[in-house]
Amino acid sequence: MKFYATNYLLTLLLLTCAQSAQAQLIDPRQAIELEADSTQVDTQTGNLVFNNISVRQGDLRIVSDRAESTSIGFENDTWKFNGNVGIESADSTLSADLLTVDFRNKKINNATLRGSPLTFKSTTTNETTVLAVSAIVDFAGSEVQKVMMEGAPIEITQVSGESGKLMSGQANSIIFNAITRDLQLMGNAVLGEGSSQIAGNEITYNLDSRTVNAAASEDGADRIHITIQPSDQGSLDDIMPVTTETPEQDQTE
């Protein structure tokens, strides 16, 4: 069957994941300022330990109760920030319990965040909030390759700065593949705009083809559910096809 819905929320989810990743990028062209209450060497690991640390570069600032690094540089090192981790930029904030960043050849190789919850807030024209348990961002050079988020569930909301309408999404896990341009919401996936929504076990959106594939659970217990409220139909001015699928039934007896 075919269903028509706005692509605005799906674009929101994509941009939110990308913003979360970009907020952790360190620009190799700018100087890095590091401040801490104290520092010492861990005699067991040989790593440097910083207490009440602040790392700043341009508009980006990372703070935490404690940080540990294999060296003072950001060339081929691993940095672990623990306790009240905050990442702040000009238009966003991210709070976590743990941030681990792996550098290779002065560039980020991957970054892992964990929190209870992990919270991302954007204060751009459209106010966005993300609640999750963990996020892993893979890089190639300076480019984001994949963003993987886990939650119980992940909750994403955005209030449109133009219309004031609430857009929302949730899933147990979200994966964005920057190479294939696929955004996957898996496990109790729901996308909503206003009071209308589409729900399924898995929802996949491809940014290039602008198509959505919604699937039920393998046992068919969690069927796809679509709700369109009369008050929301007039706002569906930017439409794209949504293909809904149910698992193929076993023909063997």
| pLDDT, tens digit only, all 253 positions of the chain | 233 333 334 444 444 445 444 444 456 677 888 999 999 988 788 889 999 999 988 888 899 999 999 887 778 889 999 999 998 888 788 899 999 988 887 778 888 999 988 888 877 767 788 889 998 888 876 677 888 999 989 988 888 777 777 878 889 998 988 888 888 889 988 877 777 778 888 888 787 777 778 777 666 666 766 766 665 554 433 433 444 454 454 444 4
Number of domains present in the structure of the chain: 1
Q: Would you say residue 252 lies in a domain? A: no
Residue 179 placed within a domain? yes
Q: Let me know if residue 188 belongs to a domain.
A: yes
Return the pLDDT at 133: 93
Is 16 domain-assigned? yes
* HEC sequence for the chain: CEEEEECHHHHHHHHHHHHHHHCCCCCCCCCCEEECCEEEECCCCCCEEEEEEEEEECCEEEEEEEEEECCCCCCCCEEEEEEEEEEECCCEEEEEEEEEEEEECCEEEEEEEEEEEEEEEECCCCEEEEEEEEEEEEEECCEEEEEEEEEEEEEEEEECCCCCCEEEEEEEEEEEECCCCEEEEEEEEEEEECCEEEEEEEEEEECCCCEEEEECCCCCCCCCEEECCHHHHHHCCCEEEEEEECCCCCCCC
For 44-61, write each residue's pLDDT tens digit.
888 899 999 999 888 888
Q: So what's the pLDDT on residue 216? A: 72
Residue 202 belongs to domain spanning? 2-245
The pLDDT of residue 3 is 33
What is the predicted pLDDT for the residue at 86?
93
Residue 128 lies in a domain: yes
Domain assignment of residue 222, yes or no: yes
**What pLDDT does 160 receive?**
73
Residue 234, class by beta-carbon neighbours within 10 Å (0-12 exposed, 13-18 middle, 19+ buried)?
Answer: exposed
pLDDT of res. 84: 95
